[in-house]
Structure 1
Amino acid sequence: MGIKSFIASRKQSKNVSQNVPIKVSDYMTRKLITFRPEQSIEEVIQSLIKHKISGGPVVNERKELIGIISEGDCLKQISDSRYYNMPLEQQNVEHRMVTNVETIDGNMNVFDAANKFLESKIRRFPIVEKGKLVGQISQKDILKAAIKLKGQTWK
């Protein structure tokens, strides 16, 4: 291969890789199952089972992210309910959700996001723009992106 054809192939390769979506916002889920702080834990459990999800963001009436509720949080409530003999329907999301929520930037490269998942051991990151919840990226979304981008230049 001559130098001119090498440069031409690199330019073509560079143009292709620039057009390939590799940002978190390209692969995040935008239609989310969300929860409200006043919802009962029993409602959350039913929703998690129905939608086959392991947790979800908790938002206020302005769609601002205020927490995350997970299967583990619900399991803790079940355990406490049994131990203290408290009916499940008396407890709500506000008392069980995690409020110190780490978010991720929608403009982040998906492979940088993969590293963030590995470092944090978190299964999902909410994406917030201008104070509002706009999406969520999960480990599975990153796997889908990797498969879709297979064979592309990853930068």
Structure 2
Amino acid sequence: MIVENVMTAPVISVEPSTSIGEVAKIMLAHRISGLPVVERVGRLVGVVSEGDLLRRSELGTERKRPWWLEFLVGPGKIADEYVHAHGRKVEEVMSTDVVTIRSDAPLDDVIEAMSRHRIKRLPVIKDDKLIGIVTRSDILRALARALPSASAEEAVNDEQIRNAIVTELARQDWGGPFIRVNVQNGAVELIGSIFDERERMASRVIAENVPGVKSVKDQLIWIEPVSGMVILPPDDSKR
């Protein structure tokens, strides 16, 4: 799946000359927390977000420091903060160091960029022009569409269920020959040994994701590799 399949388009944007008041009204009306800033030719020049509008003189929230700390910060930084607190146009308060994504990039690149830069949205670029925006909500909508629905699942028999679970376990570095799988009328039983308690939940998730599975019973015994201590499986009836 690529960005173009999940992005929001057309995207709501503003021009650099748009007033701060107009930006605030647009954000509130559309319930969004950030807007791309685009020149008339379609070139992306920045992003304005709620965070850019929090330190404002009108609210009495502009940044305040002791005089000695302002001396250490320097006049340039203080002048820049003054512009953000008193500026009336988007171009005076927007962030110009914008992280973007190509329309043909895989979703994995989106997640990596959001995690690395700690951001919630990415403007989507094609031929050097803004064509959309991809947000965390867009990713969640794509996930909701990708998850199989119970009504859409095809009928499968116990052997098909077992083969699917065993095959997926074999693909994992942590999965292996120590886990056996029994299936009867869609009820899965996991039997055998694990050497890390986290493998227990991972094994259950594999089974639960196979179409046709009605329940999963955990009979896995955890063997602690260093001490050799054996911990019996949990009692599902007490959960």
Q: Shorter chain as normaliser: what TM range?
A: 0.7 to 0.9
Question: Could you say which residue in structure 2 is the equivalent of 1:24?
Answer: 3
Match of 2:14 in 1: 35
Larger Rg: 2
Which runs of structure 1 show a deviation greater than 4 angstroms over 4 or more consecutive aligned residues? Answer: none
Partner amino acid, structure 1, of 2:125: V
Counterpart-to-counterpart distance in 1, 2:132 and 2:36: 10
**1:111-122 maps to which residues of 2 (within 5 A)?**
111-122=108-119
8 Å Cα contact 2:103-2:124 kept in structure 1: yes
What CA RMSD, in Å, does the superposition of the two structures yield over aligned residues?
Answer: 2.5
Q: Distance in 1 between matches of 2:87 and 2:47?
A: 19
Q: Tell me the residue number matched to 2:53.
A: 74
Aligned length: 128
Displacement of 1:110 in angstroms is: 1.6
- Which residue matches 1:149? 146
For residues 20 and 130 of structure 2, the distance between their equivalents in structure 1, rounded to whole angstroms, comes to 21
Question: Is 1:49–2:28 an aligned residue pair?
Answer: yes
Where does structure 1 lack aligned partners over 5 or more consecutive residues? 1-21
> Which protein is richer in strand relative to its size?
2
Give the drift of 1:80: 6.9
The structure carrying a bigger helix percent of its residues is: 1
What percentage of aligned pairs have identical amino acids? 33
State yes or no: 1:99 paired with 2:99.
Answer: no
Q: Which has the higher contact order (CA 8 A, sep 6+)?
A: 1
What's the TM-score, normalizing by structure 2? 0.49
Q: Using the TM superposition, give the Cα deviation of residue 138 of structure 1 relative to its aligned residue in structure 2, in angstroms.
A: 0.4
The TM-score, its normalising length taken from structure 1, stands at 0.74
Give the C-alpha shift of residue 100 in structure 1.
Answer: 1.0
Classify the secondary structure of the residue corresponding to 2:131: strand
